[in-house]
Amino acid sequence: MSAIGLFAATRWEVQAVRRAFPVSEMRVLGTVRCLFARRPHLDWWIIPTGVGPERAAATARRVIAEQPFAAVWSTGFACALRAASIGDVLIGTQVTAEREPEETRQCDPSMVERAQQDMQHQLVPVQVGPFVSVPHVLYRAEEKRDMAARARAVGLDMESAALGMVAAERKIPFGIIRTVSDLVDEDLPLDFNLFLRPSGWAKGVVSCLAHPTALLGFNRLRGQSRIAGAQLTAVFRALTDQADVGAMV
């Protein structure tokens, strides 16, 4: 039976995807603890990568070395680089890494078309276009607007370009489908890059305590993430329901 790999960075994104599957079980691929769900026509693997391009690429290589995939999706949350609402669906047509702009990874056209059709049937807001991946969190609105002007992309994340690179190495069809958790014109409540560094959690907590207004921002972002997570669950319910009556790729 063919398998589809769903790669997501954080446990919140993984759990949002998992909720789309009535039954799943934990399995290990290449030392990576993944969630496995069997449906009538396809096996689905939900794979946590960790945050950032290096972790995403390393995880994908370990997993793909043990499990062949008919297609892989980069999924989770994203920042919208165009006018959008929280929870809107973004489907990538290609992805470029900010630090390697000459290396553009194309998304599989049939995956893009099928995802777009399935989302249209759900009557959810969808934007289709290029993505850009960055090696660190852009948490200031000014940074996001600058990236939007330079990249001319619909969405911003940290992992898709790395996952697209690994998929291209293995000649596996690749797609991006994410939901909007933050907007181009809003600051994030804190520099989340603090949490990505060694011992960064302590610095992050200190920064929160030093700026009490950050707690209000966290509450806002948590609410936005809940909306994006619920929509991500709906996205994969729609995709898997359609796959149950035909081939996904």
Nearest CA to 240 out of 229, 248, 230, 232 is that of: 248
Asked if residue 130 has pLDDT above 80, the reply is yes
Asked if residue 66 has pLDDT above 80, the reply is yes
Tokens of 122: 């759900």
Give the model confidence (pLDDT) of 32-48 as tens digits.
999 999 988 899 999 99
* More confident call, 86 vs 23: 86
Domain of residue 150, CATH code: 3.40.50.1580
Tokens of 26: 């934990």
Asked if residue 203 has pLDDT above 90, the reply is no
Asked if residue 211 has pLDDT above 80, the reply is no
In sequence order, the 6+-apart residues with CB closer than 8 A to the CB of 248 are: 4, 41, 42, 70, 71, 111, 114, 239, 242
* More confident call, 102 vs 133: 133
Kindly provide the b/e burial profile for residues 47-58, where b requires at least 16 CB atoms within 10 angstroms of the residue's own CB: bbbebbbebbbb
Mean pLDDT on 113-129: 89
Lowest mean pLDDT segment, chosen from 22-26, 150-154, 160-164, 177-181 = 22-26
* More confident call, 108 vs 248: 108
| 173 domain residue, yes or no | yes
Q: pTM, whole model, 2 decimals?
A: 0.90
Asked if residue 53 has pLDDT above 50, the reply is yes
Mean pLDDT on 204-226: 67
- Distance CA(127)–CA(181), nearest Å, equals 14
* More confident call, 121 vs 108: 108
Around 25, how many Cα atoms within 13 Å sit in the side-chain half-sphere? Answer: 5
Tokens of 177: 């489908």
| pLDDT interval class at 245 (50, 70, 90) | low
Asked if residue 248 has pLDDT above 50, the reply is no
Question: Which residue bears the tokens 């948490």?
Answer: 139
| 72 domain residue, yes or no | yes
Instruction: Report pLDDT for 190.
Output: 73
Q: What percent of the chain is helix, strand and coil (3-state, nearest 5)? A: 40, 30, 30
Domain span holding position 16: 3-243
How many domains in the chain?
1
| 248 domain residue, yes or no | no
| 249 domain residue, yes or no | no
Instruction: Report pLDDT for 72.
Output: 98
Asked if residue 162 has pLDDT above 50, the reply is yes
On average, the pLDDT of the chain sits at 89
Instruction: Report pLDDT for 71.
Output: 97
DSSP assignment letter at 138: -
- Distance CA(211)–CA(104), nearest Å, equals 39
Percent of the residues in the chain that have a pLDDT greater than 90, as a whole number: 71
Nearest CA to 178 out of 76, 51, 45 is that of: 76
| pLDDT interval class at 195 (50, 70, 90) | low
